[in-house]
Structure 1
Amino acid sequence: MPINKLKQITSKLPLNKSLVSYDWQTFNSDLFAGIITAILLIPQGMAYALLAGLPVQVGIYTSLLPALMYVLFGTSRVLSVGPVSIAAIMVASALSSPEIKALGSSTQNAMILALEGGLILTIMSAFRMGSLVHFISQPVLSGFTSGAALIILFSQFPNMMGIKIGSCTSITECLNNAQSSLNIFDMGIGLLALATLLLMGAPLSKLLVNLGTQQTIRTGITKSAPLLSVIIGTILVTAYSLDTTHSVEIVGHIPQGLPAIGVGFLSTSYDHFLALLPSAFFISLIAYVESVAIAKVMASIRSEKIDTNQELTALGASNLAASISGGMPVAGGFSRTMVNYSAGAQTQIAMLIAVAVISLVLVSISQSLQSIPKAALASIIIVAVYPLVKLGSVVNVWKQDRSDGISQLITLLGVLILGIEEGIILGVIVTIFCYLRRTGKPHIAVVGRIHDTEHYRNIRRHKVETWDNLLLIRIDENITFANINFISEFIEAESRETDAKNIVLIFSSVSYIDTTAILYLKELINSLKHKGVVLHLAEVKGPVIDKLEKIDFLKDLLPGQVFFQTTDAVKCFAPNINEA
């Protein structure tokens, strides 16, 4: 490739914009943030790998090459991409079915999920489908997140307490899989880790604030809690050989060195890829939605801008990188991103430094990590996931909007009872049903003129002028196949209640009208003509009038007219009114 062409390509990378004004002060901030983020990522990555039912090194590998890809292509300067709790539990759900287990190893299946997810996101990027982020409503996403977080908590509490439990992707499955044998040594380590994490959270942060400690220092100290908790647990296990004498579960052997890059998993059968494709679609979609949501929050704090289509490219590349480096599907994580930001990260270089630190650990002291107790990692997951449970949000949303409340509640219950993928499918279906139900019965108002003005308002809400020969009806929704029957019935019912010979439909809120609706309107026009009533339109928007003109609708409307303003219609049919 010619050098000039290469320079032209690299100049368009988001990272290049960050480096234009890069200086030593910025590097010092990124260096500190990168080290602190790495301290969090190592134990957290291991914990999320166990949550997904994978070897712990998979979580560490997933924090390397995928993060580098996001650094190159991502538009957020502080978003940290890697293994996250929600994606991990979705991976566990995908890998837990007997059909998938029979196809290959869990690690191979996770790599295929990452590959398929990366391809899906890349294809979406090519078709500029970044706006897809808006197709999953916030209530559904919130209900899904809370439900998945509760499943994670139910699956990890037994692990923290030393109770044997297999993988589970619903509350009922978690309860059925739990065994009664409790290991008090596992429980002791888990509770000690939990206490360390909690005390080094808000209480220690408040103490450091009172002592006048700088924010970056506070972040460095408090966010090292996961590392400290696993160090304490590892020391106890090693010092007293708890893994052999008291059956304390540890992570076991971790290969030394960086992950091997390869595509050996591609040799599997077509049916294998096809079986994992539905799960890969849901995982990648949720990963994208959550990543963009986090990136937008951080961008608003930092007065920056996020390109949703570019984020598709970045997350697609990150997942493809995970697939060829022994990883699992990735997304932007809220906790690690907040740590990166709070520690003072200024650019994507902070994540490069974090990757370098993690790589150094893998090539030097990875053997020291094999005695980390699983109970300590379970505690890390519990503390990280607990804030995602927002049951009070269901009540608040219910009070604000009953349909959204129903969608959120059904999604939550669906995830808990049926499972991860089934729950979100159910939530989306309910949301679509509620939307169609709401749009199927749009708000329609009979309006009149507020005295001595040109303002027209609902006759049931305001004291207004009306006229015997004129009926004004305002439609506050686009007119489609879903609601045209309701609208037609409303107009005919109102026409029967009055002696008005002229009905004016006010289209000020109508931006779109479909073919079915136009056919129904033509029938309505003819029906009203037989009764001696003429239908007119007012305040029709440009795109709507263009469409009506193309199909000669205005000829069918005759002798009805199209008025520029509602006032023009009123002056035409009620000429003796007092002008404002």
Structure 2
Amino acid sequence: MPHSQSNNSRLTQLFPIAGWLKSYTRQEFNSDVFAGIITAILLVPQGIAYAILAGLPPQLGLYASILPPVLYALLGTSRTLSVGPVSIAAIMIASALTAPEISALGNPVQSALILSAESGIIMLLMALLRMGGLVNFISHPVLTGFTSGAALLIIGSQLPQLLGLKTPSCGVDVICYSHYFSGLVPVTLLIGLAAIGLLVFFGKPLVFILKNTGMQPYLITAISKCGPLLTIMLATLAVGYFDLTGQQNVAVVGQVPSGFPALNMDFSPIEKWYALLPYSGFIALIAYVESVAIAKVTANFRNEKIIPNQELIALGVANLAAAVSGGMPVAGGFSRTMVNFAAGARTQMAMLIAAGLLALAVIFFSPLFENIPKAALAAIILVAIIPLVKLSDIAHTWRYDRGDGIAETATLLGVLVYGIEEGITLGIILTLISHLRKTSQPHIAVVGRIPGTEHYRNIKRHSVETWPHLLLLRVDESITFANINYIEEFINAELRRQPNLKHIVLIFTSISDIDTTALEVLENLNHTLQASKMTLHISEAKGPVLDKLEKTDFLRQLKPGKAFFHTEDAVRELAKG
């Protein structure tokens, strides 16, 4: 490869934007401009709402929606992923900031910036160690249980905002709650319910109505996604016009500074970095897993490719950018990404346009955000979050796989009872235990031949031919230290059940590896069988397995046993007696 081509290839790998910009068309630009405007409409209310959900000033959500997506656009491999504040990360940030050891250190804004910086550094270290495949170690049931549990926590945190109440501290004291609800602000509840109604209407009902008018799909998307912005505008106008803050004590966002903070990384003291490190690790892990999962969804629609390790780099740099620009930790947002995709975004140019529009809003229109009622923001969060509660998935998972069902249920309950970090840790541990249990007790089938064929199937499932002195065993798992004792016990049980056996054939069709411990046990088993006048054979071993066995004395020790190419060959030779 010429030197210039090699350099271009390296540049494209590190900056994927350099690849698609070469063939960027005016038609794609027009699509991206439209999608960028629609996505920007979502960025304002979501940025403010998720910052407040995290217990932070609203501007931290807005700042996190400007520079981080710009840097992701330069480095990310997804052409439609919308990076910024997300609900799940926001509730994790809130969990970290309200932890006694963290809140005791004071200055939650500084703590949030450290969380952004540490999350970014952790992702970059993961990228350096080529840990992009880590996304595969969190199973879908655990992720679903975690998401449902976190969504329920978010719903619980937003209901007081919807009612105009402070966060309750009553625990299980019923009498306390009777006094607590006496502080309900009716006007706040009315604003919240009206906002929910408007947001729900802008969902499926409005889309259904507009489709029946024959309107173009892109216009339907544009109109339906204006719901959050219109909700915020109407609620803000009502608060200002009727002076609901002064007259009815309606809680509002308050002053949002215009412009941007100076870029800096002054996040001392160092003890905060140590204290926040575990929380940052979980935020980085979940942000990465959630982002890659969302990116793959939209990439699959267009046969595009996501490179997990490059995503770690892009998300790591985006979180560092959030830290230095005064923003909260960021990740790929599902709702924004799907809106961006549905609006026709072809490349990350859409997010660059959206970030530019939001930057203009922060510079020139920040005073307009002051009277946004928190109840309306709570409504936006609730409408976005409720679909993430997938309790029916637990029942489906439980029916299909009991181990996964237990892990999913335990993750959800763990998040609700013990906390976010503890819940997902419990789920991962239970998933690994379930996997080890399955691995340690592999499916083993005694097989026979289907009459008139060369197919061998489980004697418990099919009507097959068998032979009194020949035992055919198929082990449906690689043989390792974790399961070799179980396999040995299974063989011994069959030997006791069939005392006239002379030949045992282990069918290796499903075996991809035999580790050292397993090989030693197989050698001992072979010696025991030979001492009892029985012969051990293998059949249909894969090339890599045979290559490993040929480096040992096992095949020599097997004699007079053989390694057959086909199980049928073994039966033809051994079934005669």
AA aligned opposite 2:346: Q
Q: Deviations over 1:416-444 (max 9, x none)?
A: 11111111111111111111111221110
Task: Name the residue aligned to 2:509.
Answer: 508
Q: Deviations over 1:164-194 (max 9, x none)?
A: 11699xx989x99993221112111111111
1:60 to 46, 49, 62: 62
Tell me the CA shift for residue 526 of structure 1.
Answer: 2.3
Counterpart Cα distance in 2 of 1:278 and 1:519: 41
Q: Deviations over 1:445-502 (max 9, x none)?
A: 1111122222111112112222222111110111112211111000011112221111
1:161-176 paired onto structure 2 within 5 Å: 161-165=163-167
AA aligned opposite 2:59: Q
Counterpart Cα distance in 2 of 1:179 and 1:74: 47
AA aligned opposite 2:23: S
1:210-221 paired onto structure 2 within 5 Å: 210-221=212-223
Structure 1 segments, 4+ long, off by >6 Å, are 3-8, 175-178
1:228 to 226, 230, 235: 230
1:8-407 paired onto structure 2 within 5 Å: 10-12=11-13, 13-165=15-167, 179-180=180-181, 181-265=183-267, 267-269=268-270, 271-407=271-407
Cα 1:396–1:176, aligned 2, differ >3 Å: closer, same or farther?
farther
Tell me the CA shift for residue 519 of structure 1.
Answer: 2.0
Contact 1:250–1:372 (CA<8 Å) still a contact in 2?
yes
Q: Which region of structure 1 is more displaced relative to structure 2, 9-18 or 536-545?
A: 9-18
Task: Name the residue aligned to 1:487.
Answer: 487
Task: Name the residue aligned to 2:565.
Answer: 564
Q: Which runs of 5+ in 2 are unaligned?
A: none
Task: Name the residue aligned to 1:548.
Answer: 549
Contact 1:49–1:83 (CA<8 Å) still a contact in 2?
yes
Counterpart Cα distance in 1 of 2:538 and 2:169: 62
Cα 1:541–1:321, aligned 2, differ >3 Å: closer, same or farther?
same
Q: Which runs of 5+ in 1 are unaligned?
A: none
AA aligned opposite 1:380: I
Contact 2:162–2:189 (CA<8 Å) still a contact in 1?
yes
1:516-531 paired onto structure 2 within 5 Å: 516-531=517-532
AA aligned opposite 2:497: E
Contact 1:172–1:417 (CA<8 Å) still a contact in 2?
no
AA aligned opposite 2:202: M
State the secondary structure of the residue aligned to 2:505: strand
Q: Is structure 2 residue 420 aligned with structure 1 residue 420? A: yes
AA aligned opposite 1:509: S
Contact 1:70–1:315 (CA<8 Å) still a contact in 2?
yes
Counterpart Cα distance in 2 of 1:7 and 1:392: 49
State the secondary structure of the residue aligned to 2:259: coil
State the secondary structure of the residue aligned to 2:295: helix
AA aligned opposite 1:471: L
Task: Name the residue aligned to 1:462.
Answer: 462
Counterpart Cα distance in 1 of 2:299 and 2:348: 13
Contact 2:83–2:330 (CA<8 Å) still a contact in 1?
yes
Counterpart Cα distance in 2 of 1:330 and 1:556: 60
AA aligned opposite 2:536: L
State the secondary structure of the residue aligned to 1:300: helix
Cα 1:4–1:302, aligned 2, differ >3 Å: closer, same or farther?
closer
Counterpart Cα distance in 1 of 2:12 and 2:300: 25
Counterpart Cα distance in 2 of 1:519 and 1:462: 34
Contact 1:446–1:472 (CA<8 Å) still a contact in 2?
yes
Counterpart Cα distance in 1 of 2:225 and 2:339: 7
Tell me the CA shift for residue 307 of structure 1.
Answer: 1.2
Cα 1:147–1:340, aligned 2, differ >3 Å: closer, same or farther?
same
| Corresponding pairs, count | 569
Contact 2:168–2:180 (CA<8 Å) still a contact in 1?
no
Counterpart Cα distance in 1 of 2:309 and 2:5: 26
Tell me the CA shift for residue 17 of structure 1.
Answer: 2.2
Tell me the CA shift for residue 237 of structure 1.
Answer: 1.3
Counterpart Cα distance in 2 of 1:495 and 1:4: 65
Tell me the CA shift for residue 359 of structure 1.
Answer: 0.4
Q: Which region of structure 1 is more displaced relative to structure 2, 377-386 or 545-554?
A: 545-554
Tell me the CA shift for residue 415 of structure 1.
Answer: 1.0
Tell me the CA shift for residue 213 of structure 1.
Answer: 1.3
Q: Is structure 2 residue 434 aligned with structure 1 residue 434? A: yes
Tell me the CA shift for residue 522 of structure 1.
Answer: 2.1
Tell me the CA shift for residue 7 of structure 1.
Answer: 7.0
Counterpart Cα distance in 2 of 1:10 and 1:233: 48
Contact 1:507–1:539 (CA<8 Å) still a contact in 2?
yes
